[in-house]
Homo-oligomer: A and B are copies of this chain.
Amino acid sequence: MSRGRPFRTLVSLEEALERVLSRVGPVDRTETVPIDEALDRVLAQDIEATMDVPGFERSAMDGYAVRAEDTYGATDMEPLTLRPIGTVHAGEVPSGVVGRGECMYVATGAMRPEGADSVVMVEYTEEVDSGTGTGTMIRRAVHPGENVSRRDADIKEGTVPLRAGARLGASRLGTAAALGVLELEVYARPVVAIAGTGNEVRPLGEELGPGQVYDINTHTISAAVRGLGGTALVLGLVGDSHEALAQALDKALGMADLAVFTGGSSVGERDLLVDVFGERGEVLFHGVQVKPGKPVLAADCGGKVAFGLPGYPTSCLSSGMLFLEPVLAKMGRRPQATPVAVEARLGRRVVSTIGRTQFLTVRLEDGTAHPVFKESGAITSMAEADGYVIIPSNVDLVDRGEQVEVHLL
Protein backbone atom coordinates (compact mmCIF):
# COMPACT_ATOMS: atom_id res chain seq x y z
CA MET A 1 0.00 0.00 0.00
CA SER A 2 1.43 3.32 -1.04
CA ARG A 3 0.85 6.33 1.22
CA GLY A 4 0.83 8.86 -1.61
CA ARG A 5 -1.36 9.01 -4.66
CA PRO A 6 0.87 9.17 -7.73
CA PHE A 7 -0.34 10.94 -10.86
CA ARG A 8 -1.99 8.25 -12.90
CA THR A 9 -2.12 9.96 -16.28
CA LEU A 10 -0.11 13.07 -17.08
CA VAL A 11 -1.60 14.98 -20.00
CA SER A 12 0.42 17.05 -22.43
CA LEU A 13 0.46 20.81 -21.97
CA GLU A 14 -1.47 21.31 -25.20
CA GLU A 15 -4.16 18.84 -24.16
CA ALA A 16 -4.40 20.39 -20.70
CA LEU A 17 -4.82 23.88 -22.15
CA GLU A 18 -7.43 22.65 -24.60
CA ARG A 19 -9.46 20.95 -21.89
CA VAL A 20 -9.51 24.08 -19.75
CA LEU A 21 -10.16 26.51 -22.58
CA SER A 22 -13.15 24.47 -23.74
CA ARG A 23 -14.73 25.10 -20.33
CA VAL A 24 -14.29 28.86 -19.96
CA GLY A 25 -16.07 31.61 -21.87
CA PRO A 26 -16.05 35.40 -22.00
CA VAL A 27 -17.49 37.13 -18.93
CA ASP A 28 -20.85 38.68 -19.86
CA ARG A 29 -21.34 41.01 -16.89
CA THR A 30 -20.94 44.67 -17.72
CA GLU A 31 -20.34 47.83 -15.72
CA THR A 32 -20.44 51.54 -16.50
CA VAL A 33 -17.22 53.51 -16.02
CA PRO A 34 -16.28 57.17 -16.59
CA ILE A 35 -14.38 57.70 -19.83
CA ASP A 36 -11.17 58.53 -17.94
CA GLU A 37 -11.22 55.15 -16.17
CA ALA A 38 -11.96 53.10 -19.26
CA LEU A 39 -8.42 52.72 -20.60
CA ASP A 40 -7.69 49.13 -21.68
CA ARG A 41 -11.21 47.95 -20.90
CA VAL A 42 -13.37 46.16 -23.47
CA LEU A 43 -16.43 48.02 -24.72
CA ALA A 44 -19.75 46.23 -24.10
CA GLN A 45 -22.02 48.50 -26.15
CA ASP A 46 -22.17 49.80 -29.70
CA ILE A 47 -21.73 53.56 -29.67
CA GLU A 48 -23.85 55.19 -32.34
CA ALA A 49 -22.99 58.71 -33.40
CA THR A 50 -25.84 61.04 -32.42
CA MET A 51 -24.19 63.94 -34.23
CA ASP A 52 -21.73 64.74 -36.99
CA VAL A 53 -18.14 65.37 -35.89
CA PRO A 54 -17.34 68.10 -36.52
CA GLY A 55 -20.84 69.49 -36.62
CA PHE A 56 -19.88 72.20 -39.14
CA GLU A 57 -17.58 72.84 -42.07
CA ARG A 58 -14.31 74.24 -40.80
CA SER A 59 -11.05 75.60 -42.00
CA ALA A 60 -8.20 73.10 -42.01
CA MET A 61 -5.63 75.90 -42.02
CA ASP A 62 -4.95 79.38 -40.79
CA GLY A 63 -5.68 81.61 -43.77
CA TYR A 64 -8.33 83.48 -45.72
CA ALA A 65 -11.75 82.12 -46.56
CA VAL A 66 -12.53 83.07 -50.16
CA ARG A 67 -14.70 82.26 -53.16
CA ALA A 68 -12.33 80.03 -55.10
CA GLU A 69 -13.18 81.63 -58.43
CA ASP A 70 -11.89 84.94 -57.07
CA THR A 71 -8.40 83.41 -56.77
CA TYR A 72 -8.05 81.83 -60.20
CA GLY A 73 -4.85 83.02 -61.83
CA ALA A 74 -3.24 84.29 -58.62
CA THR A 75 0.54 83.57 -58.46
CA ASP A 76 3.58 84.90 -56.65
CA MET A 77 4.36 87.03 -59.69
CA GLU A 78 0.79 88.20 -60.25
CA PRO A 79 -1.04 88.26 -56.95
CA LEU A 80 -4.68 89.30 -56.72
CA THR A 81 -6.03 91.50 -53.99
CA LEU A 82 -9.25 90.80 -52.06
CA ARG A 83 -11.06 92.93 -49.53
CA PRO A 84 -10.87 91.56 -45.97
CA ILE A 85 -14.22 91.82 -44.17
CA GLY A 86 -13.34 90.37 -40.79
CA THR A 87 -11.96 87.51 -38.78
CA VAL A 88 -13.39 84.30 -37.43
CA HIS A 89 -11.62 82.45 -34.66
CA ALA A 90 -12.20 78.84 -33.78
CA GLY A 91 -15.37 78.53 -31.75
CA GLU A 92 -16.91 81.72 -33.11
CA VAL A 93 -19.84 82.25 -35.47
CA PRO A 94 -18.67 84.21 -38.56
CA SER A 95 -19.96 87.75 -38.43
CA GLY A 96 -20.64 88.17 -42.13
CA VAL A 97 -21.01 86.61 -45.55
CA VAL A 98 -18.03 86.55 -47.93
CA GLY A 99 -19.10 88.19 -51.16
CA ARG A 100 -17.45 88.45 -54.56
CA GLY A 101 -13.96 90.00 -54.22
CA GLU A 102 -13.99 89.61 -50.45
CA CYS A 103 -12.18 87.40 -47.94
CA MET A 104 -12.34 86.66 -44.22
CA TYR A 105 -9.43 85.63 -42.00
CA VAL A 106 -10.09 82.18 -40.51
CA ALA A 107 -8.09 80.31 -37.90
CA THR A 108 -7.57 76.57 -38.10
CA GLY A 109 -10.73 74.87 -36.87
CA ALA A 110 -12.92 77.95 -37.34
CA MET A 111 -16.31 77.72 -39.06
CA ARG A 112 -16.38 78.36 -42.79
CA PRO A 113 -18.12 81.69 -43.33
CA GLU A 114 -21.15 81.72 -45.61
CA GLY A 115 -20.28 82.63 -49.17
CA ALA A 116 -16.72 81.31 -49.02
CA ASP A 117 -16.02 77.83 -50.37
CA SER A 118 -12.26 77.50 -49.78
CA VAL A 119 -9.32 78.79 -47.74
CA VAL A 120 -6.00 80.23 -48.96
CA MET A 121 -3.21 79.32 -46.49
CA VAL A 122 -1.87 82.36 -44.66
CA GLU A 123 1.63 81.59 -46.03
CA TYR A 124 0.39 82.57 -49.51
CA THR A 125 -1.18 85.87 -48.45
CA GLU A 126 -0.06 89.29 -47.37
CA GLU A 127 -1.93 92.21 -45.84
CA VAL A 128 -1.32 95.39 -47.76
CA ASP A 129 -2.25 98.95 -47.10
CA SER A 130 -2.83 100.90 -50.27
CA GLY A 131 -4.22 104.35 -50.75
CA THR A 132 -7.75 102.92 -51.09
CA GLY A 133 -7.64 100.99 -47.77
CA THR A 134 -6.55 97.61 -46.50
CA GLY A 135 -6.33 94.68 -48.90
CA THR A 136 -5.23 91.07 -48.77
CA MET A 137 -2.85 89.95 -51.47
CA ILE A 138 -3.46 86.36 -52.62
CA ARG A 139 -0.46 84.61 -54.22
CA ARG A 140 -1.96 81.17 -54.88
CA ALA A 141 -5.19 80.01 -56.51
CA VAL A 142 -7.39 77.49 -54.68
CA HIS A 143 -10.12 75.20 -55.94
CA PRO A 144 -13.58 75.00 -54.34
CA GLY A 145 -13.38 73.00 -51.12
CA GLU A 146 -9.63 73.42 -50.75
CA ASN A 147 -8.51 73.55 -47.08
CA VAL A 148 -12.08 73.19 -45.88
CA SER A 149 -13.03 70.11 -43.85
CA ARG A 150 -16.36 68.43 -44.39
CA ARG A 151 -18.99 68.67 -41.67
CA ASP A 152 -18.80 64.94 -40.92
CA ALA A 153 -15.16 64.44 -41.90
CA ASP A 154 -14.43 62.58 -38.68
CA ILE A 155 -17.70 60.88 -37.71
CA LYS A 156 -21.04 60.81 -39.53
CA GLU A 157 -24.27 60.94 -37.55
CA GLY A 158 -25.99 57.55 -37.47
CA THR A 159 -22.82 55.50 -37.99
CA VAL A 160 -21.35 53.27 -35.28
CA PRO A 161 -17.72 54.31 -34.87
CA LEU A 162 -17.19 52.07 -31.80
CA ARG A 163 -18.57 48.57 -31.51
CA ALA A 164 -18.99 46.19 -28.59
CA GLY A 165 -15.85 44.12 -28.19
CA ALA A 166 -13.48 47.00 -29.02
CA ARG A 167 -10.52 47.33 -26.69
CA LEU A 168 -10.41 50.92 -25.45
CA GLY A 169 -7.01 52.41 -26.19
CA ALA A 170 -6.36 56.14 -26.04
CA SER A 171 -7.53 56.81 -29.60
CA ARG A 172 -10.84 54.99 -29.19
CA LEU A 173 -11.48 56.89 -25.98
CA GLY A 174 -10.88 59.92 -28.17
CA THR A 175 -13.66 58.79 -30.50
CA ALA A 176 -16.01 58.53 -27.52
CA ALA A 177 -14.92 61.97 -26.31
CA ALA A 178 -15.54 63.42 -29.79
CA LEU A 179 -19.18 62.36 -29.38
CA GLY A 180 -19.40 63.83 -25.89
CA VAL A 181 -19.76 60.44 -24.23
CA LEU A 182 -19.01 60.70 -20.50
CA GLU A 183 -19.46 57.07 -19.48
CA LEU A 184 -18.94 53.78 -21.22
CA GLU A 185 -20.44 50.38 -20.64
CA VAL A 186 -17.58 47.89 -20.51
CA TYR A 187 -17.32 44.18 -19.77
CA ALA A 188 -16.47 43.38 -16.16
CA ARG A 189 -12.98 42.08 -15.52
CA PRO A 190 -12.87 38.34 -14.82
CA VAL A 191 -12.88 37.88 -11.04
CA VAL A 192 -10.40 35.29 -9.76
CA ALA A 193 -10.62 34.01 -6.20
CA ILE A 194 -7.26 32.91 -4.82
CA ALA A 195 -6.72 30.71 -1.77
CA GLY A 196 -3.42 29.46 -0.39
CA THR A 197 -2.99 26.16 1.37
CA GLY A 198 -0.19 24.44 3.24
CA ASN A 199 -0.01 24.38 7.03
CA GLU A 200 3.63 25.49 6.89
CA VAL A 201 2.63 28.69 5.07
CA ARG A 202 2.14 31.82 7.19
CA PRO A 203 0.86 35.27 6.25
CA LEU A 204 3.36 38.11 5.85
CA GLY A 205 3.74 40.05 9.06
CA GLU A 206 3.60 37.04 11.38
CA GLU A 207 6.66 35.64 13.14
CA LEU A 208 7.77 32.38 11.54
CA GLY A 209 8.12 29.29 13.73
CA PRO A 210 10.40 26.35 12.91
CA GLY A 211 9.47 24.65 9.67
CA GLN A 212 7.32 27.57 8.51
CA VAL A 213 7.64 29.79 5.44
CA TYR A 214 5.93 32.98 4.30
CA ASP A 215 3.02 32.94 1.88
CA ILE A 216 4.48 33.72 -1.53
CA ASN A 217 1.88 32.19 -3.83
CA THR A 218 -1.23 34.23 -3.12
CA HIS A 219 0.88 37.36 -3.72
CA THR A 220 2.46 36.20 -6.98
CA ILE A 221 -0.76 34.74 -8.38
CA SER A 222 -2.82 37.80 -7.49
CA ALA A 223 -0.18 40.00 -9.14
CA ALA A 224 -0.28 37.77 -12.22
CA VAL A 225 -4.09 37.99 -12.33
CA ARG A 226 -4.01 41.78 -12.11
CA GLY A 227 -1.32 41.93 -14.79
CA LEU A 228 -3.57 39.86 -17.05
CA GLY A 229 -6.53 42.22 -16.64
CA GLY A 230 -8.40 40.25 -14.00
CA THR A 231 -9.63 41.24 -10.55
CA ALA A 232 -7.86 39.27 -7.83
CA LEU A 233 -9.93 38.36 -4.78
CA VAL A 234 -7.54 36.91 -2.24
CA LEU A 235 -9.31 34.61 0.21
CA GLY A 236 -6.09 34.11 2.18
CA LEU A 237 -4.70 30.92 3.64
CA VAL A 238 -6.91 27.89 4.11
CA GLY A 239 -6.26 24.90 6.37
CA ASP A 240 -5.37 21.57 4.78
CA SER A 241 -8.57 19.80 5.83
CA HIS A 242 -11.24 18.43 3.55
CA GLU A 243 -13.85 20.63 5.20
CA ALA A 244 -11.80 23.83 5.07
CA LEU A 245 -10.94 23.28 1.41
CA ALA A 246 -14.53 22.49 0.48
CA GLN A 247 -15.76 25.62 2.26
CA ALA A 248 -13.13 27.75 0.52
CA LEU A 249 -14.02 26.28 -2.86
CA ASP A 250 -17.71 26.99 -2.33
CA LYS A 251 -16.91 30.55 -1.29
CA ALA A 252 -14.63 31.02 -4.32
CA LEU A 253 -17.21 29.67 -6.76
CA GLY A 254 -19.85 31.90 -5.20
CA MET A 255 -17.84 35.11 -5.52
CA ALA A 256 -15.67 34.64 -8.56
CA ASP A 257 -15.55 33.51 -12.17
CA LEU A 258 -12.50 31.33 -11.59
CA ALA A 259 -10.94 29.73 -8.51
CA VAL A 260 -7.23 29.20 -7.94
CA PHE A 261 -5.84 27.18 -5.05
CA THR A 262 -2.10 27.21 -4.53
CA GLY A 263 -0.36 24.27 -2.89
CA GLY A 264 -2.05 21.03 -2.04
CA SER A 265 -1.95 19.36 -5.42
CA SER A 266 1.16 17.23 -4.87
CA VAL A 267 1.04 13.57 -3.94
CA GLY A 268 1.24 13.92 -0.14
CA GLU A 269 -1.34 12.59 2.22
CA ARG A 270 -2.80 16.00 2.88
CA ASP A 271 -3.49 16.51 -0.79
CA LEU A 272 -7.21 16.54 -0.53
CA LEU A 273 -7.88 19.04 -3.24
CA VAL A 274 -8.45 16.43 -5.94
CA ASP A 275 -11.18 14.86 -3.82
CA VAL A 276 -12.78 18.21 -3.05
CA PHE A 277 -12.71 19.30 -6.70
CA GLY A 278 -14.06 15.89 -7.72
CA GLU A 279 -17.00 16.23 -5.34
CA ARG A 280 -17.92 19.66 -6.69
CA GLY A 281 -17.45 18.89 -10.36
CA GLU A 282 -15.47 17.13 -13.04
CA VAL A 283 -11.70 16.84 -12.74
CA LEU A 284 -10.31 17.86 -16.16
CA PHE A 285 -6.76 16.73 -15.47
CA HIS A 286 -4.38 16.14 -12.60
CA GLY A 287 -0.80 16.27 -13.69
CA VAL A 288 0.68 17.92 -16.77
CA GLN A 289 3.78 16.96 -18.74
CA VAL A 290 5.52 20.21 -17.96
CA LYS A 291 8.43 21.25 -15.76
CA PRO A 292 8.14 23.05 -13.46
CA GLY A 293 4.46 22.64 -12.70
CA LYS A 294 3.71 18.97 -13.16
CA PRO A 295 1.14 18.67 -10.37
CA VAL A 296 -1.35 21.16 -11.86
CA LEU A 297 -4.95 20.18 -11.27
CA ALA A 298 -8.04 21.58 -12.93
CA ALA A 299 -11.75 20.88 -12.58
CA ASP A 300 -14.97 22.19 -14.03
CA CYS A 301 -17.19 22.91 -11.03
CA GLY A 302 -20.63 23.62 -12.38
CA GLY A 303 -19.39 25.75 -15.26
CA LYS A 304 -16.63 27.51 -13.36
CA VAL A 305 -13.07 26.29 -13.62
CA ALA A 306 -11.00 25.70 -10.49
CA PHE A 307 -7.24 25.26 -10.57
CA GLY A 308 -4.97 23.60 -8.07
CA LEU A 309 -1.46 24.92 -8.58
CA PRO A 310 1.67 23.39 -7.08
CA GLY A 311 2.77 24.85 -3.76
CA TYR A 312 6.37 25.41 -4.70
CA PRO A 313 6.62 29.10 -5.60
CA THR A 314 8.33 28.90 -8.99
CA SER A 315 6.20 25.94 -10.07
CA CYS A 316 3.15 27.81 -8.88
CA LEU A 317 3.79 31.07 -10.70
CA SER A 318 5.23 29.51 -13.82
CA SER A 319 2.37 27.07 -14.33
CA GLY A 320 -0.07 29.71 -13.13
CA MET A 321 1.01 32.08 -15.92
CA LEU A 322 0.92 29.27 -18.44
CA PHE A 323 -2.75 28.58 -17.76
CA LEU A 324 -4.02 31.95 -16.57
CA GLU A 325 -2.73 33.86 -19.60
CA PRO A 326 -4.90 32.13 -22.22
CA VAL A 327 -7.78 31.56 -19.80
CA LEU A 328 -8.02 35.19 -18.69
CA ALA A 329 -7.53 36.38 -22.28
CA LYS A 330 -10.57 34.36 -23.30
CA MET A 331 -12.63 35.34 -20.25
CA GLY A 332 -11.66 39.00 -20.64
CA ARG A 333 -12.13 39.11 -24.45
CA ARG A 334 -8.54 40.16 -25.05
CA PRO A 335 -6.01 38.92 -27.53
CA GLN A 336 -3.47 36.68 -25.86
CA ALA A 337 -0.19 38.47 -25.20
CA THR A 338 2.55 37.40 -27.56
CA PRO A 339 5.75 37.13 -25.55
CA VAL A 340 8.61 39.03 -27.11
CA ALA A 341 11.47 36.65 -27.90
CA VAL A 342 15.17 37.23 -28.53
CA GLU A 343 17.86 34.86 -29.79
CA ALA A 344 20.72 33.90 -27.48
CA ARG A 345 23.28 31.15 -26.94
CA LEU A 346 22.77 28.84 -24.02
CA GLY A 347 25.39 29.40 -21.30
CA ARG A 348 25.66 25.76 -20.19
CA ARG A 349 24.42 22.32 -21.18
CA VAL A 350 20.93 21.55 -19.95
CA VAL A 351 19.33 18.13 -19.76
CA SER A 352 15.59 17.70 -19.95
CA THR A 353 13.15 14.80 -19.71
CA ILE A 354 11.64 13.30 -22.84
CA GLY A 355 7.87 13.65 -22.67
CA ARG A 356 8.00 16.82 -20.56
CA THR A 357 7.95 20.40 -21.83
CA GLN A 358 10.51 22.30 -19.75
CA PHE A 359 10.44 26.01 -19.02
CA LEU A 360 14.02 26.94 -18.25
CA THR A 361 14.44 30.37 -16.67
CA VAL A 362 17.52 32.27 -17.84
CA ARG A 363 19.31 35.55 -17.29
CA LEU A 364 20.57 37.32 -20.42
CA GLU A 365 24.08 38.71 -20.57
CA ASP A 366 25.84 39.77 -23.77
CA GLY A 367 23.77 37.44 -25.95
CA THR A 368 24.23 34.47 -23.65
CA ALA A 369 21.31 32.87 -21.80
CA HIS A 370 22.51 31.70 -18.37
CA PRO A 371 20.14 29.26 -16.66
CA VAL A 372 19.11 30.62 -13.24
CA PHE A 373 16.80 27.79 -12.29
CA LYS A 374 17.69 26.63 -8.77
CA GLU A 375 14.71 24.49 -7.80
CA SER A 376 10.95 24.75 -7.98
CA GLY A 377 10.84 25.77 -4.35
CA ALA A 378 12.96 28.86 -4.96
CA ILE A 379 11.05 31.96 -6.11
CA THR A 380 14.41 33.46 -7.08
CA SER A 381 14.54 30.83 -9.85
CA MET A 382 12.10 33.13 -11.55
CA ALA A 383 12.70 36.52 -9.95
CA GLU A 384 16.29 36.60 -11.17
CA ALA A 385 15.35 35.60 -14.71
CA ASP A 386 15.03 37.87 -17.73
CA GLY A 387 13.08 35.23 -19.61
CA TYR A 388 12.66 31.54 -20.27
CA VAL A 389 13.63 28.99 -22.88
CA ILE A 390 11.06 26.35 -23.81
CA ILE A 391 12.64 22.92 -24.18
CA PRO A 392 10.10 20.86 -26.15
CA SER A 393 8.97 17.50 -24.85
CA ASN A 394 10.89 15.56 -27.52
CA VAL A 395 14.28 17.10 -26.66
CA ASP A 396 16.46 15.64 -23.90
CA LEU A 397 19.53 17.85 -24.13
CA VAL A 398 20.44 21.36 -25.22
CA ASP A 399 24.18 21.89 -25.45
CA ARG A 400 26.19 24.84 -24.29
CA GLY A 401 26.45 27.41 -27.09
CA GLU A 402 23.33 26.21 -28.89
CA GLN A 403 21.09 28.96 -30.26
CA VAL A 404 17.91 29.26 -28.19
CA GLU A 405 14.88 31.54 -28.25
CA VAL A 406 14.41 33.42 -24.99
CA HIS A 407 10.86 34.56 -24.26
CA LEU A 408 11.18 37.71 -22.21
CA LEU A 409 9.31 37.88 -18.91
Residues of A5-51 whose CB lies within 8 A of B:
6, 35-36, 39-40, 51
Residue A351, interface by CB 8 Å = no
**A145-182 interface code vs B (CB 8 A; 1 in, 0 out):** 00001000111000001100000011111111111111
Question: Which of A218-226, A275-283, A352-360 sits within the interface?
Answer: A218-226
Residue A99, interface by CB 8 Å = no
Residue A131, interface by CB 8 Å = no
User: Would A182 and B204 count as touching, CB distance under 8 A?
Assistant: yes
Chain B residue with the shortest CB-CB distance to A335: B408
- The distance in angstroms between the C-alpha atoms of A311 and B199, with both chains bound, is 60
In this complex, the interface size class of chain A, counting residues with CB under 8 Å from chain B, is: 35 or more
Chain B residues with CB below 8 A from A208, complex form: 51, 55, 180
Chain B residues with CB below 8 A from A153, complex form: 374-375, 377-378
Residue A382, interface by CB 8 Å = yes
Residues of A312-356 whose CB lies within 8 A of B:
312-314, 317, 321, 338, 340
User: Would B377 and A317 count as touching, CB distance under 8 A?
Assistant: no
User: Would A211 and B36 count as touching, CB distance under 8 A?
Assistant: no
Task: Kindly name the residue among A93, A206, A212, A379 whose own CB sees the greatest number of chain B CB atoms within 10 A.
Answer: A379
Q: A1-B127, A35-B204, A173-B223 are in contact. List 8 more A-B contacts (CB 8 A).
A: A56-B210, A108-B268, A109-B200, A162-B383, A170-B220, A170-B317, A175-B380, A178-B313
* A interface list, Cβ under 8 A from B: 1-4, 6, 35-36, 39-40, 51, 53-56, 58, 60, 62, 89-93, 105, 107-111, 122-123, 125-127, 149, 153-155, 161-162, 169-182, 198-201, 204-206, 208-217, 219-224, 226-227, 234, 266-270, 311-314, 317, 321, 338, 340, 374-375, 377-380, 382-385, 409
